[in-house]
Amino acid sequence: MTESKKTPATLLEVPRERWPRHLAVIMDGNGRWAQRQGLPRIEGHRCGVASVRKITEECSRLGLEQLTLYCLSSENWKRPQQEIDFLMHLLEQYMIEERTTIMDNNVRVRMLGRRTNIPEQVLAELDQTVTMSSSNDGMWLNLAINYGGRAELVDAVRAIGSQVAAGKMSVNEINEQTISNHLYTSGSADPDLLIRTAGEMRISNFLLWQISYAEIWVTEKCWPEFDEETLHEAICDFASRNRKFGGLTK
């Protein structure tokens, strides 16, 4: 990381080893923010994309290892079709328009979630961005799309069950690492910090297994209002906490 003048002194005073390595964000409040501005809900989603760009660039600049964004939950398909169609359009547009930013920031993109129900043209652009960025060696940008924590666990259990049924694994060999290895996030470190915007105090079926020991930080700001200063505030708060992981500290 280059410690430029953009990084506030308060953050630079925090020992680097106390920063989160993996940050996960539930990006909530796009629609509410838009309604408060007298705008259609879809305009909130459009402005939310700008926040994605700002926070992705800043996390990469700060040297975080991973950023996981909750883009579309498996429950979001219940929303009005017009809103769903617009979200798919935004996702496709993002995959095309942000490629330069992704490559300039040496970011690697990965999708977490089920591919079912996502339009083919959206998947095609997503796959192209994933492939294009695969040679980068910087921060991982994990996009949770059509994602549900329970669905992820179901998929993992099915995969493990298939291996047991095929005689490739015994029931007694199944442990926590086995389950982790079969999640969408296989090979990734678990999030250290989970941020939720818009003041909501729930995890909404997001990374149920992976956030077992993550610190949680909630802000009243809606996602379109979430900026670099708010990110720095969250990191500083995280660094001030005494993480016990179920044990005791002196």
How does pLDDT run along the chain (250 residues), one tens digit per residue? 444 446 777 888 899 999 999 999 999 999 999 999 999 999 999 999 999 999 999 999 999 999 999 999 999 999 889 989 999 999 999 999 999 999 999 999 999 999 999 999 999 999 999 999 999 999 999 999 999 999 999 999 999 999 999 999 999 999 999 999 999 999 999 999 999 999 999 999 999 999 999 999 999 999 999 999 999 999 999 999 987 766 655 5
**Separation of alpha carbons 163 and 174, rounded Å:** 11
pTM, to two decimals:
0.92
CATH code, domain carrying 40: 3.40.1180.10
Residue 76 is among the residues annotated as catalytic for this protein? yes
Q: Which domain holds residue 196?
A: 19-148+191-239
Residue 237 is among the residues annotated as catalytic for this protein? no
Among the listed residues 28, 146, 190, 192, the single catalytic one is 28
pLDDT of residue 249: 57
Number of separate domains in the chain:
1
DSSP conformation letters of 199-236: T----TTSSTTTTTT-EEEE-SS-GGG--HHHHHHHHH
Q: Which residues contact 14 (CB under 8 A, 6 or more apart)?
A: 235, 236, 239
Is 214 within the bounds of a domain? yes
**Separation of alpha carbons 238 and 23, rounded Å:** 11
Is 204 within the bounds of a domain? yes
H or E element in which residue 53 lies: helix 41-62
Among the listed residues 76, 136, 181, 205, the single catalytic one is 76
Q: Do 198 and 181 meet the contact criterion of CB atoms below 8 Å apart?
A: no
pLDDT of residue 246: 65
